[in-house]
């Protein structure tokens, strides 16, 4: 679990480096829906990281050894040691039973992922709605698709809680939760297929409207400024999509039967650790950047306007529009 801890510490360092910018562009600005979403996603990420780290902290043996047979997983040993220590805080919160503890941790992380992905989807809808000149049709289309996808993902996650079994082991003095899926493997991966479909749709819509605006605004007097804004939107969108594609590829590959039957091999544990690192970066670092980048661009425009460059804040109207202010 050392890679997970190292990755989370690296992510925390990146967040700390941008805290000054975050304080100026988020905390000091007028509160809006986007402000709430940014803060929620960012600080749910801290809780997510803590839940990931706590089970990996060193433990001290206290009383007994509990013998647990493992018939369906390829474990290289037959006993599970019940330990106590710093990481046992988690056990006190969710119940001391080893199996219940792992199941509760897994369920908590899964529902946090659903919640954060829902918030990121709202951020994406807001950006696309602005890029499409606040079109009511595109808003209804996006909301219908996204709500249907989110409900389906929630149902799949709830079913997953029923069919996912967890065993808690002690490896090198740290807790390890090993999970076994008892249901249909295709159902287990369905949520990620839905997430991928939504992200591809959002990317295609963003690319299409960006190309369309560049053609329309080529001869416009404000075309350069609005074009720059669309470039900022697209740059952060593409970066976020690439990170999401990487996480999705790792996640779908993680459902491979080969990995399921080699749950405790070093390669599989390293694979899982990297998946956790990439997931945290994608959701809690690059996700909030979807808001922070456009706030930063808006601030630069205002500063340039105050300096006498003649460029004021962009408000996308018919044939040239998107608000880069507090709503985005």
At residue 61, the 3 state secondary structure works out as: strand
Whether the Cβ atoms of residue 251 and residue 275 lie closer than 8 Å to each other = yes
- Other CB atoms within 10 A of residue 153 CB: 21
> What pLDDT is recorded for position 229?
80
Residue 192 gets the label, from left (phi > 0), alpha (psi -120 to 50) or beta, of alpha
- Residue-wise pLDDT for 165-203, tens only, equals 666 555 555 556 666 666 666 776 788 889 999 999 999
Task: Give one word for 95, left, alpha or beta, with left for phi > 0 and alpha for psi -120 to 50.
Answer: left
pLDDT of residue 285: 86
pLDDT in tens, 193-239: 899 999 999 999 999 998 888 887 776 655 566 667 888 888 899 99
**Contact of 247 with 278, CB cutoff 8 Å:** yes
For 102-146, the pLDDT digits (tens) are 778 888 888 999 999 999 999 999 999 998 989 999 999 999 999
pLDDT recorded at residue 110: 87
2-306 fold:
Rhopdopsin 7-helix transmembrane proteins (1.20.1070)
Dihedral sign of CA atoms 255, 91, 12, 300 in order: positive
**By C-alpha distance, which of 87, 82, 43 is closest to 66?**
82
Q: Looking at the predicted structure, is the pLDDT value of residue 37 above 50?
A: yes
pLDDT at site 22: 82
pLDDT score recorded for residue 196: 92
Q: What rounded mean pLDDT belongs to the chain?
A: 73
Q: In this predicted model, what pLDDT tens digit does every residue of 45-73 receive, in sequence order?
A: 888 888 877 655 554 443 333 333 444 43
DSSP-based three-state secondary structure for 59: strand
72: exposed, middle or buried (C-beta count within 10 Å: 0-12, 13-18, 19+)? exposed
Using the predicted structure, report yes or no on whether residue 92 has a pLDDT greater than 70. no
Gap between the Cα atoms of 285 and 295, Å rounded: 15
What is the tens place of the pLDDT at every residue in 250-266? 888 877 766 655 555 66
At residue 43, φ and ψ (nearest 5 deg) are -95, -15
Residue 43 pLDDT grade (very low, low, confident, very high; cuts 50, 70, 90): confident
Q: How far apart are CA 231 and CA 287, in angstroms?
A: 17
């Amino acid at each position: 679990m050392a890679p997970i801890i190292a990755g989370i510490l690296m992510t925390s360092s990146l967040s700390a480096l941008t805290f000054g910018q975050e304080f100026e562009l988020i905390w000091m600005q007028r509160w809006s829906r986007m402000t709430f979403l940014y803060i929620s996603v960012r600080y749910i990420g801290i809780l997510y990281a803590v839940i990931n780290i706590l089970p990996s902290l060193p433990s001290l043996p206290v009383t007994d050894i509990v013998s647990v047979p493992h018939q369906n997983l390829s474990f290289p040993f037959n006993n599970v040691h019940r330990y106590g220590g710093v990481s046992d805080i988690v056990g006190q919160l969710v119940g001391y039973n080893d199996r219940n503890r792992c199941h509760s941790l897994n369920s908590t992380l899964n529902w946090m992922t659903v919640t954060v992905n829902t918030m990121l989807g709202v951020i994406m809808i807001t950006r696309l709605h602005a890029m499409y000149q606040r079109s009511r049709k595109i808003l209804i289309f996006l909301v219908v698709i996204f709500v249907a996808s989110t409900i389906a993902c929630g149902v799949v996650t709830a079913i997953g809680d029923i069919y996912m079994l967890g065993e808690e082991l002690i490896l090198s003095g740290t807790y390890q939760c090993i999970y076994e899926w008892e249901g249909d493997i295709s159902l287990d991966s369905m949520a990620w297929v839905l997430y991928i479909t939504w992200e591809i749709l959002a990317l295609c819509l963003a690319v299409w409207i960006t190309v369309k605006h560049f053609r329309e605004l080529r001869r416009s007097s404000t075309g350069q400024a609005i074009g720059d804004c669309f470039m900022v939107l697209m740059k952060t969108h593409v970066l976020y999509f690439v990170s999401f594609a990487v996480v999705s590829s790792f996640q779908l590959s993680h459902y491979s039967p080969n990995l399921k039957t080699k749950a405790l091999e070093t390669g599989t544990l390293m694979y899982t650790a990297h998946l956790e690192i990439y997931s945290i970066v994608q959701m809690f670092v690059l996700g909030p950047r979807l808001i922070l980048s456009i706030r930063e661009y808006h601030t630069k425009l205002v500063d340039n306007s105050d300096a006498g460059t003649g460029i004021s804040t962009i408000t996308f109207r018919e044939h040239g529009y998107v608000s880069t202010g507090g709503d985005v």
